[in-house]
Amino acid sequence: MPFSKLGLSDAIVKAVTDMGYTTPTPIQEKAIPVALTGKNLLAAAQTGTGKTASFVLPILQMLDDGQQVRAKRVRALILAPTRELAVQVEANIVQYSKHTNLTSMAMYGGVDYEPQKRRLIEGVDILVATPGRLLDMYTKRAIHFDAIEILVLDEADRMLDMGFIEDINKIIERLPLDRQNMLFSATLSAQVRLLAKTAVRNPVEISVAKDEASQPKIDQCLITVDKDMKSSLLSHLINEQQWDQALIFIETKHGAAKLVSQLEKRGIAAEAIHSGRSQGSRAQVLEDFKAGKVKYLIATGVAARGLDIDELTRVVNYDLPFPPEEYVHRIGRTGRAGSKGEAISFVSRDNFKNLCMIERLLGHLIVRKEIEGFVPTKEVPISILNFKPKYQKPEGNNSTDGKPRRNDKPRSNSPSAEKPKPKKPRNRKPITDRDTGIPRGTRKPKSV
Chain residues binding ligand AMP by CB under 6 A are 21, 24-25, 28, 47-53, 308, 310, 336-337
* Closest CA relative to residue 41, chosen from 70, 62, 21, 67: 62
Closest to ligand AMP by CB, 3 vs 318, is: 3
Helix axes 113-121, 131-139, angle to 10 degrees: 70
Helix axes 51-63, 26-36, angle to 10 degrees: 30
Closest to ligand AMP by CB, 88 vs 180, is: 88
**How far apart, in Å, are the Cα atoms of 420 and each of 382, 412, 437?**
14, 11, 29
Q: How far is the CB of 126 from ligand AMP (least distance, A)?
A: 15
Collapsing DSSP states into helix, strand and coil, what is residue 156? helix
Closest to ligand AMP by CB, 49 vs 436, is: 49
Q: How far is the CB of 57 from ligand AMP (least distance, A)?
A: 9
**In 10 A of CB 379, how many CB atoms?**
12
- Gap between the Cα atoms of 247 and 231, Å rounded: 14
Closest to ligand AMP by CB, 332 vs 439, is: 332
Q: How far is the CB of 213 from ligand AMP (least distance, A)?
A: 9
110 Rama sector, left if φ>0, alpha if ψ -120 to 50, beta otherwise: left
Closest to ligand AMP by CB, 21 vs 113, is: 21
* Closest CA relative to residue 233, chosen from 248, 219, 218: 248
* Closest CA relative to residue 430, chosen from 389, 391, 396, 402: 391
Q: How far is the CB of 50 from ligand AMP (least distance, A)?
A: 3
Q: How far is the CB of 18 from ligand AMP (least distance, A)?
A: 12
Strands (E), 148-245: 150-153, 180-185, 204-207, 218-224
Collapsing DSSP states into helix, strand and coil, what is residue 345? strand
Phi, psi values for residue 438, rounded to 5°: -85, 135
Q: How far is the CB of 102 from ligand AMP (least distance, A)?
A: 19
Closest to ligand AMP by CB, 48 vs 402, is: 48
Give Rg (Cα) of the chain.
22
Closest to ligand AMP by CB, 51 vs 353, is: 51
Q: How far is the CB of 86 from ligand AMP (least distance, A)?
A: 13
Closest to ligand AMP by CB, 46 vs 235, is: 46
* Closest CA relative to residue 295, chosen from 312, 277, 274: 312
Q: How far is the CB of 42 from ligand AMP (least distance, A)?
A: 17
**How far apart, in Å, are the Cα atoms of 321 and each of 223, 324, 338?**
15, 6, 24
Closest to ligand AMP by CB, 4 vs 232, is: 4
Q: How far is the CB of 309 from ligand AMP (least distance, A)?
A: 8
- Gap between the Cα atoms of 215 and 139, Å rounded: 42
